[in-house]
Amino acid sequence: MGSMSRNKGKVGEREWARYCTQRGYEAHRTAQCRGDTGQAADVEGLPGIHIEVKRCEQTRLYDWLRQAKHDSAVGDHGLPIIAHRKNDEPWVVIMDAEDWFRIYEAWERETRIVDNLTDKLK
């Protein structure tokens, strides 16, 4: 990887960490930025989430997901996501559909419980 690509990656990681921090999470680049090796996420601060940050114009979606899943499995075991942004575009989160449905189903169950409790209080 060339130095310009590495620099853009660092900038992207800092941007994503700032984006998370603005939403109330204490996010920061991980130890890998100090040269530690291993399968550390690019940014930490969202407990249970393994974050790979991609700040580039080209998308290699399935390669990125494979990397995030692999690194999560041998590293922190968090839910693997890709935080991606192209120039002049907003951040997006990319994840496996099975993981997305696990999150959605948990949200749906919780919403149903809250709705039932609200109905009982009326």
The total number of residues written for the chain in this structure: 122
Among 1, 30, 3, 2, which Cα is nearest to 14's?
Answer: 30
pTM to 2 decimal places: 0.82
Task: Give the start-to-end residue ranges of the domains of the chain.
Answer: 3-96
pLDDT at 118: 81
- φ/ψ of 83, rounded to 5, equals -100, 120
Query: Please, what sign has the CA dihedral across residues 105, 109, 110, 111?
Result: positive
pLDDT (average), residues 82-100 = 96
Distance in angstroms (rounded) separating the CA atoms of residues 109 and 40: 32
**Domain 3-96 is of which CATH architecture?**
3-Layer(aba) Sandwich (3.40)
CB atoms within 10 A of CB 43: 27
Q: Which residues, including other chains, have CB under 8 Å from residue 11's CB and lie 6 or more apart? A: 55
Residues 28-77 have pLDDT tens digits of 998 665 444 557 899 999 999 999 999 999 999 999 999 999 999 998 88
* pLDDT exceeds cutoff 70 at 1: no
